[in-house]
Amino acid sequence: MKAIDYRLGLEQRVFPEYRKPFFELLARQCKQGFCLFAGKAQRDESILEGTGLNKTEFVQANNRYVIRGKSYFFRQENFLVWLDTWNPQILIVEANPRHLGLNRGIEWMREHGGKVIGWGLGTGGNGSVLSFFRKGFRRSFIQSFDVLISYSQKGKTEYLEAGFPAERVFLAANAVSPRPSWSMPSRAKDFGQHKPVVLFVGRLLERKSVDRLIHACAKIPGKDQPELVIVGDGPTRTKLETLATQVYPASQFTGDLRGKELADAYKKADLFVLPGTGGLAIQQAMSYGLPVITGIGDGTQTDLVRAENGWQLNTDTVEELTEVLTSAVDDPGKLRKMGEVSFEIVKNEVNLEAMVDTFAKAIEFAMNLDRKK
C-alpha cells in the first residue's frame, strides 16, 4: 500500500465500531501521524460505537445536537481546539452539511496552509418542496473542499452532476474487511439432503427489514424452504423472535458473533440476504464466497452486488423477495458460480487495502493541488 507522508486528521460525527479496522490500517500508512476526531451519536440511533484505536490517536469530540432526530444539526464544540492541538497538514471530514461549524474548520485549514478532503455518500436530495434550496446549498457546500472521496459510484456521479471537477473526485468503495487471506471456501455442488442455508448478519434494527425476510422464507414452497440463520443483536430482536415463532420456526437467532464463530457462520451458509438498508456485512459475506440478495440502499451495494454475483431488489415487498429467494435456492450450481464471483470482487476490487490506497492517492493529489488554477 502507498505510504502517506503527511500529518493527517480525520473528523467524523460518530466513530462506528465497524470503521475501526479501516482507521487503524489508514493510520499505519501515515508516516507523520494520524488522529481521529469523533463524537457520540444521538441516544436513539442504535449505533455500536468504537471506544478507541490501537497504537494511534483518538480524540473525543463534544457533539452538541442543535436539532435532534432524522433532521438533526450538530456542532462539535472542541473542533477548533483539536485542530490547534493536532495541527494536521491534511484534514479529511465527513462531508455532512448538517455539521454546523464545519466551514470554520475548513477556514482554519486554509489559514494554516492545509488541504481538506470531504468523504461522503453524495449530495443527496429528496424531491421535497425544499429540494431546490437544498440542491443549491449542497452545490455550494461541496465546492469548499479541495477533493472529494465518494463511498460509491452513485455518490461520485452526484458530485459530478453538482459541478465538482471530475479529476478531484475519487471513488473508494465502502469496505469493512481486508483482502481475504484465505482461499475460496469449498462448498458442495448441490445441497444434497440438507436444506439451503440463508444467512443474515447485522444489527437488528427496523430498517434492516429482517421481518420481511422471515415472511419471505415462510412463503417459499415447503420442500424448498431454507434454514434461516439470523446473526446479530439489537432493539428489534425480541419482536423478531416472536414473529419467527409464529411465522417461520425454522429461523435461528445466534446473537452477536465475532471472530471464528462469525467466520464459521459465513462458511456454512449458501446465500447472504440483506433485505433492508445499510449492510457493510455484504462485503464480509462476499469474502467467504457467498452470493448476495440486497435491498434498496444508498448506492454502496451497487458497487458490490452485480448480476454476476447476486440480486438487487427493486421494491421493499415480501412478494419480490420471495420470488428472488425461491429462484436462488432452486439452482445451487448457479449459486456456487455467483459465490466465486463475489470472492473475486472482494479479493481484487473492494477491500480495506484498496480503500486505503484510494485515500492515499486522494491525499497526495490534494496536497499537490493549486486551487488558484
Q: Which amino acid is at 308?
A: E
Cβ distance 356 to 22 under 8 Å? yes
Express each pLDDT in 38-87 by its tens digit.
999 998 887 888 988 998 999 999 999 998 888 889 999 999 999 999 99
CA-nearest of 174, 161, 185 to 266 is 185
Cβ distance 288 to 185 under 8 Å? yes
Which residue matches cell numbers 499537490? Answer: 368
Which residue matches cell numbers 502517506? Answer: 4
Alpha-carbon span 38 to 93, nearest angstrom: 10
Alpha-carbon span 184 to 195, nearest angstrom: 22
Q: How many CA atoms lie within 13 A of 138 on its CB side?
A: 22
What are the backbone angles phi and psi of residue 108, rounded to the nearest 5°?
-60, -45
Task: Give, in degrees to the nearest 5, the angle at Cα 101 between 95 and 107.
Answer: 85
Alpha-carbon span 261 to 347, nearest angstrom: 22
The C-alpha cell that represents 217 in the structure block: 422464507
Q: How far is CA 170 from the centre of its chain?
A: 16
Express each pLDDT in 272-303 by its tens digit.
999 988 767 899 999 999 999 998 765 567 77
User: What are the boundaries of each domain within the chain?
Assistant: 8-175+351-367, 197-348
**Per-10-residue mean pLDDT, the chain, length 373:** 93 94 96 97 86 92 90 94 98 94 96 96 56 62 94 90 94 91 92 91 92 97 92 94 96 94 96 86 94 79 87 94 95 95 95 96 94 50
pTM of the full structure = 0.87
Q: Which residues contact 22 (CB under 8 A, 6 or more apart)?
A: 175, 176, 352, 355, 356
What is the CATH superfamily name and number for domain 8-175+351-367? Glycogen Phosphorylase B; (3.40.50.2000)
Which residue matches cell numbers 421481518? Answer: 211
Strand, helix or coil for residue 363: helix
User: What per-residue confidence (pLDDT) applies to 132?
Assistant: 41
CA-nearest of 160, 153, 147 to 119 is 147
CA-nearest of 14, 72, 54, 10 to 38 is 14
> DSSP H helical segments within the chain, as ranges?
20-28, 79-86, 102-111, 131-142, 153-161, 210-219, 237-247, 259-268, 281-286, 300-304, 318-329, 332-348, 352-367
CATH architecture of 197-348: 3-Layer(aba) Sandwich (3.40)
Give the sign of the dihedral formed by CA 273, CA 278, CA 281, CA 282. Answer: positive
The C-alpha cell that represents 200 in the structure block: 443474515
Beta pairing class for 63-67 and 73-76: antiparallel
User: What per-residue confidence (pLDDT) applies to 297?
Assistant: 66
Q: How many of the other CB atoms lie within 10 Å of CB of 78? A: 17
Domains 8-175+351-367 and 197-348 agree in fold: yes
The C-alpha cell that represents 228 in the structure block: 434461516
Beta pairing class for 227-231 and 197-201: parallel
How many residues comprise the chain? 373
Cβ distance 330 to 324 under 8 Å? no
